[in-house]
Structure 1
Amino acid sequence: MCLNMSFFLILHLFQRGIMANSFDDECDYLFKAVLIGDSAVGKSNLLSRFARDEFHLDSKPTIGVEFAYRNIRVGDKLIKAQIWDTAGQERFRAITSSYYRGALGALLVYDITRKATFENLKKWLHELREFGSSDMVIVLLGNKSDLCQSRQVGVEDGQSLAQLEGLCFMETSAKENVNVEEAFLQMVTKIHEITSQKSLEAKTNETSPTLNGKKEIINVDEVSATKQTSCCSY
């Protein structure tokens, strides 16, 4: 317990330092998002494929929390997407849950070849909604679609759960780079739509935060999105 608490404090301070230094003048927005799901569903490879276009067959389990970021242009805005990859092992749950705070989006991942990872999604959703914002954009990902011959979870199962819970959905393959870019971009674009609407409403009420009257900053520790709407499933 003491070791876990010490690790938590170190990670928390590290995260705060990263948050303070990762926003630069060229970016219009900074969006924080999290990758969650059972261990070995491919979260780390999804992130490395998105951030660096890399895939590692010998990828090791995430210890605690890791992160990566990438700049994305949506319309005329440049967005820095900061993605936190959380450990799926039970012993790290107390640590990773703290990283839901301030997250505007989440990628909820299961392995289509392991039914148990799909069955555990309800537990992950409960945790996400308990510790995260009720306005969070959540995208459900059925990963490892390249292993369709070993499939234990059908596409229609993922679609049904997404429709029931009001989530976006698609199947991905980090190995073959299928729908990885699309999944992250869908989440970021949806967050941008929601925050833009919130900003517009705030401007109408003359309460919108500005930087020298020129640029809006989305503070990941303070901003919540407007009411979440269901997006399309694929």
Structure 2
Amino acid sequence: MATAPYNYSYIFKYIIIGDMGVGKSCLLHQFTEKKFMADCPHTIGVEFGTRIIEVSGQKIKLQIWDTAGQERFRAVTRSYYRGAAGALMVYDITRRSTYNHLSSWLTDARNLTNPNTVIILIGNKADLEAQRDVTYEEAKQFAEENGLLFLEASAKTGENVEDAFLEAAKKIYQNIQDGSLDLNAAESGVQHKPSAPQGGRLTNEPQPQREGCGC
């Protein structure tokens, strides 16, 4: 199969947002590499990862942009919100301050992405139950009030990490199927790839360097 590297029907662009130290990079690493990075360095600007998943029999390539949580990088990371099909908004269940800042992150996400961007709220570090500072119920209520998907996960144990990325993808795919997501719109965050040329390179593969151009 010469076309194996391009054996997917869609590309979905994801961003991961949230305060510094909530485990955004660790979630990405666990999802793409199936490993936990105990000493995960803080992201400077943005980092990038990909993985091909399957939703309803369709192969989908996720392009995932992991953004820095520090305020000094916000101007840089905001440019990556544009054209995101999905946003993973992460807080740390053991640090209430990271939960209290969700409204600010959500405002950015709503203002800088398109109206159909699927936002999923993730309470990370679910393995640290004894240190819990935010209840499941209050986070679930916040998610419901704001129309967000929600689950708790652990980048350390891998619990629900797969589900976090998959649930967002299922919702995006559903939006494509019911026509609420316009694939022709540049900001949709989705590219459709019906087939790849034999042994050839796909010419409309997104170029990361050009991402975030607001012109």
Same fold, TM exceeding 0.5? Answer: yes
Deviation at 1:220, TM superposition (A): 7.8
Distance in 1 of aligned mates of 2:180 and 2:94? 42
| Mapped contact 2:9–2:192 kept (Cα < 8 A) | no
SS in 2 for 1:134: coil
Unaligned runs of 5+ in 1: 1-23, 203-208, 222-234
* Aligned partner of 2:173 among 192, 195, 214: 192
* Aligned partner of 2:101 among 120, 125, 150: 120
Unaligned runs of 5+ in 2: 184-190, 197-201, 208-215
1:72 corresponding residue in structure 2: 53
Change (3 A) 1:200 1:132: closer
- Match runs of 1:31-110 below 5 Å: 31-110=12-91
The answer on 1:156 being equivalent to 2:146 is: no
Regions of 4+ moved over 4 Å: 199-202, 214-221
AA matched with 1:145: A
| Mapped contact 1:30–1:220 kept (Cα < 8 A) | no
Higher fraction of helix: 1
TM-score when normalising by structure 2: 0.82
Change (3 A) 1:120 1:26: same
AA matched with 2:179: K
Cα offsets for 1:34-74 (capped at 9, x unmatched): 00000000000000000010111111100100010000111
AA matched with 1:75: S
Distance in 2 of aligned mates of 1:200 and 1:215? 21
AA matched with 1:31: F
Distance in 2 of aligned mates of 1:200 and 1:101? 15
* Aligned partner of 1:30 among 11, 16, 39: 11
Distance in 2 of aligned mates of 1:220 and 1:197? 25
> What is the aligned residue count?
190
TM-score when normalising by structure 1: 0.75
AA matched with 1:125: L
Deviation at 1:178, TM superposition (A): 0.6
Identity of paired residues, percent? 47
Deviation at 1:77, TM superposition (A): 1.2
With a CA cutoff of 8 Å and minimum separation of 6, indicate the structure with the bigger relative contact order: 2
